[in-house]
Structure 1
């Protein structure tokens, strides 16, 4: 009796990522976490540095809570995609993904998407470095300071993603992919 043969899983010919790229990818994956946790706290009723009037003016209850929850989940999901640049699923899509499972990922498309993402994140978050220079009348002085430090890691997300993207590109260029 013979058993049916299954195709061998696709493997990557790309060399392993350097240690610094793996660390940078993990760091990039958590840059959105502090701000996301802060937003979740706001939805749960914590004022998070807002004055009472400021908190109620923004409105984090009922349907108004959907946006901060959605933003927190999507932001962290996008940040976690950075790990694909240093993991096997950034070269061969996981088998559980319908229609794409087990197929090689086009490194050119990955580099393009990650590069555009890094540029957009850098443009989006770099102005946040001026947070402390801007007045925030709906926040307490301590809250203003706290929120600044909670969002500050997001400033590093774009440059970290760019560095990991360059590493991914170099590794896949070396294989001729």
Structure 2
């Protein structure tokens, strides 16, 4: 969530201490805000792996409401997501927090950026752990 908030402020035109400061607008601002919304949605789906509502489809959905979620239908996308996140963040964080061509107005802004984005490095391994726990819980013999 912290990185999403950072991106939303950026999309809204906040300075955030970045130098050179280029206001993002139009399509770039929309896609930056959209990325935050999609990431938060995917992160919230992870809760389905550890909460009871992730085992049974909600009853208000027509046709499939009340049915059990097939373990494979949850485990395969979650496992793929964990691997994809590991690849994405390994590539993205290769030079973090030194962003080529960007400096900060003060060290405080750089520390805030690091504090907002560092939790992302835990997303892949934690998703892998809860996926494994879901698999063990749902597929025990």
Do both proteins adopt the same fold according to a TM-score greater than 0.5, normalized to the shorter chain? yes
Q: Which runs of 5+ in 1 are unaligned?
A: 1-32
Q: Structure 1: how far apart are the matches of 2:62 and 2:17?
A: 44
Q: TM-score, normalised by structure 2?
A: 0.86
**Residues 23-75 of structure 1, C-alpha deviations (whole Å, 9 max, x = no match):** xxxxxxxxxx1110001111222112312xx332xx42233311011100010
Q: Which runs of 5+ in 2 are unaligned?
A: none
Q: Is the 8 A contact 1:129 1:152 kept in 2?
A: no
User: Alignment RMSD, CA only?
Assistant: 1.9
Match of 1:45 in 2: 13
Deviation for aligned residue 1:149? 2.5
Match of 1:148 in 2: 114
Q: After TM superposition, which residue ranges in structure 1, 4 or more long, deviate above 4 angstroms?
A: none
Question: CA 1:55/1:98 → structure 2, altered by over 3 Å: closer, same or farther?
Answer: farther
Equivalent of residue 3 in structure 2, options 2, 27, 35:
35
Q: How many residues align?
A: 138
Deviation for aligned residue 1:137? 2.1
**Residues 66-87 of structure 1, C-alpha deviations (whole Å, 9 max, x = no match):** 1011100010000001100111
Match of 2:96 in 1: 131
Higher relative contact order (CA 8 A, sep 6+): 1
